[in-house]
Structure formats: C-alpha cells, structure tokens
Structure 1
Amino acid sequence: MATKSRKYKSYQTRWKVCMVILLFISALLIFLSGVIFTNISKNWRTDALYAEDFYDTLEFRNAVYDALDDVVLADVFYESEAKIKEGEKIDREALIEGFKRYYGIIDGVITGSTEINDTYDGLEVHGIIPPTLESNFLEYQELVESRLPQYREIYIQNQLDDYRAAERALEDLVNFRYFVEDENGNILGGNATRGEVSSMDHTIMLSREFSSDNLSQDTYYPYSNYYLENSNYRVYAAVKEPLEAGDRFYDLYQDFRFARASLPYLFGVSIVSCIVFLFCLIYLIRVAGQREKGGEVTYLLVDRMYNEVHFLLVGAFALLAFFAGFSMLDTIYMETMPFWSYVFITLLGLIYIASVAVGLSYILSVTRQIKGRRFFRNTLVSALIRKISSLFTGTTFRGWMVLVMLAYGMGNGVLVFFMCMYWYSDLMLPAFLALVAFNVFCLYLFLRALRSLKKIMISARETSKGNLAYQLDLAEISPSFLNFAEDIANIQDGLKNAVEEAVKGERMKTELITNVSHDLKTPLTSIITYVDLLKQEKLVNTTAKGYVEILYEKSYRLKQLIEDLIEASKASSGNVKVVKMRVDFHQLVMQAVGEMEEKIESSGLQVKLSCPEPVYIDADGRHMWRILENLLSNAAKYSMPNSRVYVDIFRTEEHGILVMKNVSAAPIDFDATRLTERFVRGDSSRTTEGSGLGLSITQSLTELQGGTFGIQVDGDLFKAIVSMPLWITEEDELEEEEETLVQEEEPSEADEEMLQE
C-alpha cells in the first residue's frame, strides 16, 4: 500500500495545484522580465543589444537633432526677440488662416472680394459685395478690426514663447557645443568657439550647400530642417566625450549603461522561467484528468464543447489578445505619463495571464479527451453524422414525419398510375375516388397541424405583447409541432422569470440609491455641524485650524457630490418633473452670469455675451438655470486664467441656440464626447473641485426638455452648444401662415416685367 501511495503521489490534487501555481509564477516572471527589458530599453530598441557605444545609438542622434532644432529655431529662424516683437517673423498666410479658423470664418464671396491690410486692422475691398451679404460683410469687417490685432499679438507672443523655450533648452545642455555663422564667416550665436567645436570627436556641420556628419560611426538618417535649407547660415555642433553630469545627454548615457548591464540578468531569469514553465506544462499534461496512472478520466465542463468550436474560440481570443497586446505595447512605448504606463502594463499583464490560462485550459482539455479516446467523437463533424443518423430515432426529429411525406407522395403516385392504366375501364372511377379520399384525409391532417401552428403563433404574439400569463395547452398540439410548442412554453417561463428578476433588480436599485443617499446625508450633516462648531471655537494651534478648514472644505464638497449624484440619477432615469413655459434665453443667461459674477471674476475670466435679437424658448426655467449654472461653473473651473468666455445666443427657424466658447487651461487630448459621461473630468489629475457630473446632468436635463446638447473641440477651444425649441404661440403661427400667403401672392420679378410690357 505504501508503494502504491508513493506511486500515485504525483497524481494528487495538491501537487496539481502546486504545479499550476508554479507554472503561472514562471509565466509571470517571463512577463515581468519582458516588461523590465522593455522599460529600460524602450529608448534604445535594438541598440541596447547591438550598440557597443552610446554615441552609436539612435537615441543619442535624436537628442542631438532635437538640440539642433532648437539652435535653428532660435538663431536661424527667429534670430532675436526684437525681430519677433517687430513682427518680422510673422507668416501672413498662417496668421490669417489661424484667425479664420479660430473664429469659424468660412471663405466665400466676402473673403474673396476683400483683403486684410498690411497692418492687420482693416479690410481692403477689391470686388463687389452683394446687397444680400452686406450685414455679413459688416460683421466680418468689425471682427477683423476689433479682434485681428489682438490675435496678432497672441501670435507674436506664441513665437516669443517658442524662442525663449528653445533658448532655455540650449542653456540647459552642458555637453552640447555649437555656433552659428553666416556665409561671410561672421558668428551669429552659440556657446562655443570654432576651435572648441573642431577639437571634439563627435561633430556635425550643416549648411545649404554642404553638410558633414561625424557624430557616430552609424548614420541612421540625415538631419533635415526647412529653415536652415532656405538660409545662408551654417551651423557647427559637437558633443563632449566623456560626458559631464547635468543634462539630457548624460542621463541618456547612464540609462544606456544600466540597460546594457541588466540584460544578462534578465535573460538568465527568462531562460530559467521558460524551463520551469515547460516542466510544469509537461507534468500537467501527464496527470490531466486522472487520479492515478491509467485510471478513469474525469472530464470538466469545458470538455463538453465541440473541439472545432473550442479551437476557433481559443484562436479568436489569441488574435484579440495579440492585437490588443501590441496596441498597448505601442502605447507604453509612446506614453509619457508614468501613471498611464502603469495602467497599460497592468492591463497587458492581465491579458497575458488570461492568454496563458486559456491556452493551458485548451491543451489540458485536448489531453483529457485523447486519454479518454473521445477526441474525434467530440467533434462537430461526428455530432452532425450522429444527428443525421438519429433522424428516424425520434430523438431530434420525428422520423415518422419523413415516412408520412414519403407515403403521401407514393400514395398519390400509385393512385395516379392506376387511373392512367385503367383510364378507359370501370376501375378508373374507383381509383379517382380513392385519390380524392386520400388527399382529403391528408388535407385534414395538414389543417390540424396548421391549427396547432396557429395556436403556437397566438401564444407567441401574446408573449410579444407582454402577456406572459397566457398558457398554451400542449395536449391540443399536433405531434409534428409539439417540440416547437414546448420551446415556446419554455420561452414564456424564461421571460416571466427574467421580468420578475428585472423588476426586482430595478426596485433594489431604487431602494439602494434612496437608502445610500439618506445614509450618507445623515452622518455628513452631523460632520458639517460639528465642523461649523469647531470653526467657532478659538483654536490656538494653527495646525488644528488648518485641519478644520480642510474638513470644512471636503465635507461641503462631499455634500455637493452626493446631491449631484442623486440629481444625475434622477435626470438619467427621467424621474424629473418638467414644466415648460416661455423663457427669455437672453435674460436668463444675463441673470446666471450676474449670479456667478464673483466666481467668474475669481477665475480671472471675462464673459462676452452676444445676442442680436430676442430669443424665447419653450423650456423649464428651473432646469435651464441648472444647465447654465453647470456650463458657467465648468468654464470657471477649466478655462485658461485671464481669458474670455464667449456666449452667443441666436435663433434658427425652430430652435434657440446657445454657444459657449472658452479656451481650456489643460490640453484636451481625448475624445470630447467622453466629457458628457459620468465622473469624466477635463482635469485628468482630478486635483480641481468638481464631481465630473455637471455635463452629464446638463445633457440629461436638455434632452428631457426636448432639446439637444453637444460638445465641439478645436485644439484647446472648448465649445458647448445647447439647442432648445422656440416658444411658438398661436399668434406666431398665424403670422407665419400670413407671411407664407403674402409671399405666394406677391408677383415675382418675371411677372412684374411681363406686366410692364
């Protein structure tokens, strides 16, 4: 017995579990080795494996080319701050195109007939402006005269920022030496002399006529710059060897050394992990499905799946994981924010572990079926053959139905044959009567089956209407449709259970929101009360005062979040009462701006309101107030300080439109439609106040009132658009009908000419 126990010890469940855990640990070590290698060598790609010297890497050359870009930008293109401030570096075409794009100006008859003057503060008319476009022309002219000079100043300021950024970048480089000279050899800028640059080993000289590259032995790609190629300047640059600490070149050199030193350890861990992984896999294949050697095979639920289907599902999952993994790997390579790199690495790890689990499950399933000699039996082809062979067994399809159809055809054929054979004899009439009686009997059976089908259809129709209490009497159903009727009855039972579960779930969700909101509000009210009492106490400890202020701020923020959550839930579910009335859109916006004037001014913003004509909308004033409050709060939180918020109100034939535009302080580098989702905020770091529910509430309230809400993003320009139905009275409808009749009765120009003739 002891010998037998030792013999089958390797088949025990605990050993199988240990080997599975060891297999996943080794797989995880392989993944972590790959992640670490990718992380320390992502700047070097294959250079970490093949490049012996840091100066022969692509990353070194990219760093040099980045520095050269700054040199060309600062000393070749911009040259000095004075020239930038005087406007000598303005690209007229780029300035005007950017101005038109920023203010949404579309080229047409007006822009084709006019030209912006050289001082960028007026228009010169070179064509004829049609009378119908006179108002549009005046609006365009006012926009050019009032806004274009300011846009020009912003354009120049952006150029100054680029120039100063390039200068600062060059000042931070300790190991990069350069100078710039003109075609006559006059030095125009740089941080080194000609002798210092020429004495270094890694140099590069660039000009329009001739270039020399001695940065490294391997030239990955030549340097090219449009500004330098269209100038008469020459740029000489070099990089020190050895490198000194204090700039990007030295940091890259240290990273390269660390990557080279880490490779042997990573390869060693990967090889050992691969050996352990293969050992565990072979062991699990050997003991799969058995508790002793040669014993009975125990199957799992996954083994019931057809092998072709199982293989296709595993293959589809492998392809999906492959493409998702490569996409995430590319994102990890390009991602500059460490947080998102960690997120994508975690997701990639989960996909990797899931792939290992799916692959292991498939291999062990195939192993169990091969051991149990049922691999080919559990295929779809084998199952199809068995289904065809069971046609006449009554298990899947009533075999007697096939026999009946064959008998019907043969019966008619035999009777018709006898009629033709005895056409001129006395037996023809009995044969004809037998044929008629036979077909009447078959028709009776057919109609009985159709009556059963009608009952089944009625049951299905009642089920589609929601009448799940309708019962189908299976005793009245023909045997040919009995299976179909049983399926319909099972569907009714399943739908009834599903509806009951859904109603129960909705009730539980409603109770959960109510109870949780109440349970949160009650202790929060106590917290706020006690914090207010603490604020009234004369606390001597300044640190304690600071803590009380933080508690006061966070408790009120939590209270606002709970209220926003409840309102968002009500708005999304439609559980909000809407009372529409005549609302002056312009006056409502002015009132909202006035109410929030203090908050807007504290954010350093200016609101510019434009409403050329009165706009009256059919809406609920309370909900419209909340919509405007959310939009203005959003602008105050996320707009660039000391900028302007433009609010335009106008009307179309059926709607009143509000367009609010502001410049975002943070770059909008994600899909703008996500901003209307719950808990999504423009501040990805979530350091500012707000719950991420404002725009979601705004969209829900707008749609509840029959309007639409949209978001558009152009660069950092954020645009929110609210469209609401216009208020139309009976008098307005009568006026519109009268205007239509008058327009129909007024003679056209052609009719007037005919009358004059």
Structure 2
Amino acid sequence: MKKYRTKPWAKGLACGLFVLAMTVSVICLGNVRWLAYHGGYQWEGTRQLVEEEEAVWVENLTNQLADGYRSYRDGDQSLDVKRYVEDENFFFTIKDLEGNTLLASDTLGDYREKTSWSMQVGGTVQWSHIDQYYDSYEARDLALDQLGSTYEELQNVSLVEDEEGYRLTADVARTVGKETVVLTGFLRSELSPTGQVYQGIQYAENMGFYRYEFLAGAILGLVLGLLSLGFLLWSAGLRQEGSEEVSLRWMDRAIPTDLLIAAGAAVLLFGLLPVVCSSGWGTSLVAFGPTVLTMVLMGVVLAMALSLVRRRRGGIGRENLFFPRLIRPVRRWGKALGRRTGELLGKLPLFWAAGLGFLLLCFLEGLCLMGCYYGGGWVVLWLLLKVLEGGLVLFVVLSMRTLQAGGRQLAAGHLDYKVSTEHLRGPFREHGENLNNIRQGIQHAVEEQMKSERMKTELITNVSHDIKTPLTSIVSYVDLLKKQAMPNDQAREYLEVLDRQSARLKKLTEDLVEASKASTGNLTVDFQRTDVNVLLTQSAGEYQEKLAAKGMDLILTPAPENPAISADGRLLWRVFENLLSNIHKYAQPGTRVYLTCEAGENQVTITFRNISATPLNISADELMERFVRGDASRNTEGSGLGLSIARSLTQLQHGTFSLTIDGDLFKAALTFPRIP
C-alpha cells in the first residue's frame, strides 16, 4: 500500500471511490432515517408504511375536497366538485346530519381507507352596527375582545374618549343559516396504476421492501468512504516516496485556512445535513438532483480536507489567516475603549460606579424589550444582554469568593496565605492588595511579638540559672546553721525566716525554669497508657489532709469506667498538683472542692471546681498569663506561674486546658483524647 501513496492513478481512484461511496452512504442514510421515523424497521414494517401512506393520502385529498365544496357552497357555482380531486383511486360522499346524500362521486365501491370530516357550509352574512359607552377604558377593551370572539368579522372599529365616557363603535358581521355536512373520503381497494395515490403507495411498498438494502448500503458506503479518505489523507501532498517535499496546490495559499474551515463547516451543515434530513423523495427511491448535489458536495469536502492536510505538512496552516486580521483592529479599539472606561470608572466611588452600571443595563434592557414588542429580532440582543449580565454577576461573585476566602484564612491565623489578585479588577483588586498588606503587617507584628517572647523566655531562663547557683549556697548554709545552736531566740527566729524565704525563692526559680521549658516545648514527653482515675485519686489523697486542715471538703467523682489516655504520668501529676495547690492557696475555707472525671466515647475530661476566697475580678485568659495571680493583694504565697505551667504541660500532652470563672466559682477543665 505504501508504494501507491505517490501514484496519481491511485489517488484518482481513491477520490472517485470516496465520492461514490459517501454519496451512496448519504442517500441510503437519508432513506434509513425516513424508514426509522415511519416505523419501517418494526415488525411488519412494510405494511405499517403502506397504511400510514394511505392515511396521509386520504386525509390530504379529503381536505382538498372540503376546500372545493366550501367554495361551491359559498357561491362559486361554476366549480365541478366531483372532479375537483383528479385521482381515479379516490371517491367521496357528502351527507347531511340526517344521512341524506347531498353529493357523491360518480362511481363508488369497496375501499381500503377512509376518513370523515364534519363542517359547516353555506349561510348568509348579516351586518350590524354597534355604538356603546363605557365607564372605563378597561371595560371598553373587554367589550372589544368579546366582540372579536362573538362575531366573525369587525370593520370600522373606533375607540373615542369624550365627555360622556369611553365610546366604542364598530360594524360587525355574523353568518347565519349554516348547514352542517359530513364529508367522507375513500381510497379504492383495487388501485388503478395511475395517479399520485398509486405512486405514493407504491413508493412506500418499495421503501419497505429495500429497507435492509438501504441500511447495508449506508454502512458499506461509509466504511469504503472512510478507508478511501484515510488513504488520501495519508498520501496528501506527497510527490515522491521518501521525499520530505510537500506539493502544494493553488488553493492551499490562495484561500485562508480559517475561511476554508468555515466554508467546510457550512457545506456540512447547510449542504449535506439537509440532504440527509430531507429523505423520502416522494415517488423515487433515489432522486437524481440530491444525488448529483451530494456528489458535488463530497468532492468539495474532500478537496478542503486534503488542502488542510497539505497545509499542516507544509507548515503554512497558520499563515494568511483572515479572521485575526479582521478582529485585530476591533480588539485594539475595544482595548482602548475598555481602558478609558476603566480609568473613568476608577475615578468614581464604588457606589456611584455600581449605580451607573445598573442604570446603563436598565436602559439597554428597556431598548431590547421595546424592540421585542415591535419585532422578534431584538430577542437575540436581549438574550446577549442577559448573558452579559450573567457574566458580570459571575465575575462579582467569584471576586467576592476570593476575597472572602482570603479574609477567612487571615481570621483563622494562616498568615502565610496570600490572596491571589491575578483575576481581580478594580476595587476588588485594591481590596485584595489591602488584605495582603494587612497580612504582612500582622505577620510582622506576630514575628516581633514572638521575638519579644523568646527574649523574655531567654532572659527568665538565664536569670533563673544565674540565681540558682548562689541560692543553692544560701540554702546549704541555712541547713548548716539550723544544725548549730543559736545564741538566743531572736537569732533562731531570723534563721527560720531566712529558711522559709530561701525555700520560696528556690521554688520560684524552679517554676520559672519549668515554665520556660514548657512554653518552648523543650521538655521530653514520655507518652504512656495512663489510668486517669488512679492518677487523680493519688493526687487527691496527697492534698486531702491539707485541704481538710483549712476546712475544705474534697469530693472526688471518678469515671464509671477506668478510662485511659496517652500521657506522661509525671507531667500530668504536675498539672494536677498545680491545680490542687492553687485550690489550697486561694479557695474559700469551709467550702467543698469537686474533682470530677468524665469519660466520653472519644475523650476524657477532668474538672476541678472550687469557690474563691477573694473576688475574681479578672478574666480567665488573663488569669492564665504568667505572673498573674487571683489574689490581687498578693497576701498569699505563689508565683503566678502555676496555671500557665499547667496549660503548657497539658498542651504538650496533646490535651486542651480551659478556665471558667462565674462569680466566685473557679472551674478548670482538662480534656484528652481517649484511647481503647
């Protein structure tokens, strides 16, 4: 096959085969479509086609006869009704409602199909004049509509408004004395081989007889045509086998590619498609005119397809394009107009720009509606305007969604998110840039705050370490002095104060170091399966005597089951200890302290509740800050770091720590994920 690619006789044979095969396929496909539409491929399709053709012919001829008889009764006495329908295979009868025959064909007989019509004929036209006043123009218009539905004809209609009211005058006509007749048309059972009826029925029989041959011809012609087309496209533009040179024709350079594609689409849409859709050629299975037209169109389509392939192989497909040259100045003018309009609207406030756009759309829509009232061509412009409005609304919605997503990300604390302003225009772009500037400002402020926090943490850690060394010496010497005999009671009292305050200072430095490590995450967390009830019970036992000494009643309510969490028992013990220590220091003596453990399906919650001895005129968030104490007078011991350390340690163990203050009620809740 490859050696025939460059042979002119092979290409010519393939061209002829393509045109012939595709013509056969198109003509047969048209007949197949007609047969499928009329039920030719159903069970007993031929009989169904014939019956449908008979019904159509008797209906059409009876309708034609009715027109002639109506004209005859209206006064055209020269009309020969019996011969008004010239077809030997059709006869008729016209009877009144009593069954009396008024007119009939000369020869009657057996029939294969019939249809009956009932109609009114004859009568005389009576004219009358109407002159009436009405209280409102609505009543007058309603009366005019009733006249149109009551009378058969209106003339000299006049609508006048004077001092007496709204006047309506008209000449109206009504036909009286009409006679109702029944007209019945028949097709003879034995058809004469002359006339249109015989030819139409014979055509239907032939179509049904060759229905499968048409289907096979459509498929076979399509296959041969596609094979021929594939060979021609494969060999298009090749002059010699093995040569890279492409042989171009005059039309390859003379006709622009885009115009050629448009012309090809027009040939397919307005040439070949009507041939397929106008199947059923009346009396001939294959009509000469459509067949010749299809062959010509197939030749044109083949020439266009081969030209496109040669252009692609020759690399000239994008040269000499027509529509870009036509659109380029229009696009340039549109860009200039759009730029100037944008500059003008950009100088207006958003409210006035939106109002101006709304008024412009209303004006254009009003013009379109007025045009639709006077002519149907304006409907297309109205639809285009609606498409424009829809695009504008879609642009606004998408812009708002982009800005909304950016605001949501910023509100969620995602400072690395940047609003994309690539597709935003006008005020939306300006607002997007403002959001990005806010993001940068917030990010800079957060970085400065984090830097300050790091500096504070480093300062606290360094100072704590620096204090720790001399403090250790002080504590050691105090212990040595406590082992020696004091000269008097006053010296012994001074030594006790020194011992107590040095221990307090040691505890403060340890809390500072631990708070620094917890907040920066420098603590090692050893996650283990932990029974919350056991650890909470042990912590409550440690503080039960201390709380009882101050008159506090500790009420422990463990979970019904023994829920387990993944936590570091040492750090969780420190959290419980800090909370119980706070209760011991700040709770109202003589009140109850509640420790509760509740286990849900996916989480475990530990709650500490007590009544404060002093008013809590501070928020829960402030109370969890470092060095903040509920005792504003600072008369009790404490560094103000216990809650902050407890929160940091809880978060290190993947838990949440929350405080609730309701009057004097202090409530701390720890929540951890539950494990099986």
Per the normalisation by structure 1, the TM-score is 0.32
Choose between structure 1 and 2: higher strand proportion.
Answer: 2
Choose between structure 1 and 2: higher helix proportion.
Answer: 1
Relative contact order, CA 8 A, sep 6+: which one is greater? 2
Computing the radius of gyration from Cα coordinates, the structure with the larger value is 2
Per the normalisation by structure 2, the TM-score is 0.35
